Amino acid sequence: MRHAGIPVGVHVICEDAGGILLMRRAGTGFFDGLFSLPGGHVEPGESIGEAARRELLEETGLRVELGDLRHVGTVHRRSDTNRIDFFVRADAFAGRPEIREPDKCDALDWHDPRCLPTQMVPYVRSALAQGGSPWFLELGWD
Protein backbone atom coordinates (compact mmCIF):
# COMPACT_ATOMS: atom_id res chain seq x y z
CA MET A 1 0.00 0.00 0.00
CA ARG A 2 1.34 3.43 -0.95
CA HIS A 3 1.21 6.14 1.73
CA ALA A 4 1.12 9.84 0.95
CA GLY A 5 3.63 11.97 2.82
CA ILE A 6 2.40 14.22 5.58
CA PRO A 7 3.41 17.90 5.35
CA VAL A 8 5.68 18.78 8.27
CA GLY A 9 6.02 22.26 9.72
CA VAL A 10 8.22 23.84 12.35
CA HIS A 11 7.45 26.86 14.55
CA VAL A 12 10.10 28.72 16.56
CA ILE A 13 9.38 30.27 19.94
CA CYS A 14 11.73 33.19 20.62
CA GLU A 15 11.13 34.90 23.93
CA ASP A 16 12.87 37.74 25.72
CA ALA A 17 11.91 40.35 28.31
CA GLY A 18 9.52 41.86 25.76
CA GLY A 19 7.60 38.61 25.34
CA ILE A 20 7.18 36.11 22.50
CA LEU A 21 8.04 37.13 18.95
CA LEU A 22 4.95 36.92 16.71
CA MET A 23 4.45 37.84 13.09
CA ARG A 24 1.20 38.68 11.31
CA ARG A 25 0.68 36.64 8.16
CA ALA A 26 -0.19 38.53 4.97
CA GLY A 27 -0.45 37.81 1.26
CA THR A 28 -0.16 34.02 1.47
CA GLY A 29 -3.81 32.94 1.40
CA PHE A 30 -3.14 30.88 4.56
CA PHE A 31 -4.34 32.49 7.80
CA ASP A 32 -3.69 36.00 6.45
CA GLY A 33 -4.29 38.69 9.08
CA LEU A 34 -3.54 36.32 11.98
CA PHE A 35 -0.48 36.29 14.21
CA SER A 36 1.75 33.23 14.32
CA LEU A 37 5.26 32.18 15.24
CA PRO A 38 8.14 32.33 12.77
CA GLY A 39 8.37 29.04 10.92
CA GLY A 40 7.41 27.08 7.86
CA HIS A 41 7.72 23.79 6.05
CA VAL A 42 10.52 21.31 6.56
CA GLU A 43 12.18 20.79 3.18
CA PRO A 44 13.19 17.34 1.83
CA GLY A 45 16.45 16.18 3.42
CA GLU A 46 16.26 18.85 6.14
CA SER A 47 16.08 18.14 9.88
CA ILE A 48 13.57 19.88 12.16
CA GLY A 49 16.40 21.92 13.70
CA GLU A 50 17.85 22.91 10.33
CA ALA A 51 14.41 23.98 9.11
CA ALA A 52 13.87 26.02 12.29
CA ARG A 53 17.21 27.81 11.83
CA ARG A 54 16.56 28.50 8.14
CA GLU A 55 12.98 29.73 8.60
CA LEU A 56 13.87 31.97 11.55
CA LEU A 57 16.70 33.59 9.57
CA GLU A 58 14.66 33.93 6.36
CA GLU A 59 11.64 35.46 8.08
CA THR A 60 13.15 37.56 10.88
CA GLY A 61 16.93 37.80 10.41
CA LEU A 62 17.48 36.18 13.82
CA ARG A 63 20.23 33.56 14.06
CA VAL A 64 20.12 30.50 16.30
CA GLU A 65 22.53 27.61 16.76
CA LEU A 66 21.22 24.03 16.55
CA GLY A 67 22.33 23.41 20.13
CA ASP A 68 20.13 26.28 21.32
CA LEU A 69 16.92 24.75 19.93
CA ARG A 70 14.77 22.58 22.17
CA HIS A 71 11.68 20.59 21.16
CA VAL A 72 8.74 21.63 23.35
CA GLY A 73 5.77 20.06 21.62
CA THR A 74 4.07 18.57 18.60
CA VAL A 75 0.68 19.18 17.00
CA HIS A 76 -0.94 16.57 14.77
CA ARG A 77 -3.70 18.47 13.07
CA ARG A 78 -6.32 17.98 10.49
CA SER A 79 -6.48 21.02 8.25
CA ASP A 80 -6.61 21.06 4.47
CA THR A 81 -4.58 17.84 4.84
CA ASN A 82 -3.19 15.68 7.61
CA ARG A 83 -0.30 17.75 9.09
CA ILE A 84 2.41 17.52 11.75
CA ASP A 85 3.84 20.68 13.32
CA PHE A 86 6.86 20.71 15.62
CA PHE A 87 7.31 23.55 18.09
CA VAL A 88 10.83 24.39 19.22
CA ARG A 89 12.11 26.99 21.65
CA ALA A 90 15.22 29.01 20.87
CA ASP A 91 16.97 29.18 24.24
CA ALA A 92 19.38 31.76 22.75
CA PHE A 93 19.35 33.74 19.51
CA ALA A 94 21.23 36.66 18.01
CA GLY A 95 20.26 39.72 16.01
CA ARG A 96 17.39 42.17 15.89
CA PRO A 97 14.16 40.90 14.37
CA GLU A 98 12.96 42.53 11.19
CA ILE A 99 10.41 41.69 8.52
CA ARG A 100 12.50 39.90 5.87
CA GLU A 101 9.58 38.60 3.78
CA PRO A 102 7.15 41.54 3.41
CA ASP A 103 5.13 39.53 0.87
CA LYS A 104 4.26 37.04 3.65
CA CYS A 105 4.25 39.19 6.80
CA ASP A 106 3.07 42.73 7.57
CA ALA A 107 3.81 42.99 11.31
CA LEU A 108 6.47 41.61 13.65
CA ASP A 109 6.59 42.35 17.38
CA TRP A 110 7.06 40.98 20.89
CA HIS A 111 3.87 40.01 22.77
CA ASP A 112 3.25 39.24 26.43
CA PRO A 113 2.51 35.47 26.58
CA ARG A 114 -0.24 36.18 29.15
CA CYS A 115 -2.00 38.56 26.74
CA LEU A 116 -1.61 37.24 23.21
CA PRO A 117 -3.38 38.95 20.28
CA THR A 118 -6.97 37.84 19.77
CA GLN A 119 -6.32 37.36 16.07
CA MET A 120 -3.99 34.34 16.14
CA VAL A 121 -3.67 31.13 14.15
CA PRO A 122 -5.84 28.81 16.29
CA TYR A 123 -3.49 25.82 16.51
CA VAL A 124 -0.55 28.12 17.37
CA ARG A 125 -2.59 29.69 20.19
CA SER A 126 -3.45 26.20 21.47
CA ALA A 127 0.22 25.19 21.32
CA LEU A 128 1.38 28.27 23.24
CA ALA A 129 -1.22 27.56 25.95
CA GLN A 130 0.37 24.18 26.77
CA GLY A 131 2.26 23.93 30.04
CA GLY A 132 5.37 21.86 30.53
CA SER A 133 7.14 20.02 27.78
CA PRO A 134 7.22 18.06 25.76
CA TRP A 135 3.51 18.11 25.01
CA PHE A 136 1.42 16.57 22.23
CA LEU A 137 -1.87 17.86 20.78
CA GLU A 138 -4.23 16.34 18.22
CA LEU A 139 -6.55 18.95 16.73
CA GLY A 140 -9.40 18.71 14.23
CA TRP A 141 -10.02 14.98 14.63
CA ASP A 142 -13.43 13.60 15.60
- pLDDT tens per residue, range 49-67: 999 999 999 999 999 999 9
For residue 96, the enclosing domain spans: 8-139
Residue 109 maps to a domain: yes
Q: How many domains does the chain have?
A: 1
Residue 99 maps to a domain: yes
d(CA 117, CA 101): 21
Residue 4 pLDDT grade (very low, low, confident, very high; cuts 50, 70, 90) = low
Residue 34 has pLDDT above 70, yes or no: yes
The pLDDT of residue 140 is 86
The pLDDT of residue 80 is 72
Across the chain, mean pLDDT equals: 93
CATH number at residue 29: 3.90.79.10
- What radius of gyration do the chain's Cα atoms show? 14
- Give the N- to C-terminal CA distance of the chain in Å, as an integer: 25
Residue 3 maps to a domain: no
Residue 5 has pLDDT above 80, yes or no: no
Residue 2 has pLDDT above 60, yes or no: no
Residue 1 maps to a domain: no
* pTM assigned to the model: 0.93
Residue 37 has pLDDT above 70, yes or no: yes
Torsions phi, psi for 123 (to 5 deg): -70, -25
Q: What is the pLDDT of residues 65-99, one digit of tens each?
A: 999 999 999 999 987 778 899 999 999 999 999 99
Give every CB contact of residue 42 below 8 A, 6+ residues apart in sequence: 8, 9, 10, 48, 51, 86
* Nearest by Cα to 65 from 97, 87, 94: 94
Residue 104 maps to a domain: yes
The residue that leads in pLDDT, 60 or 17, is 60
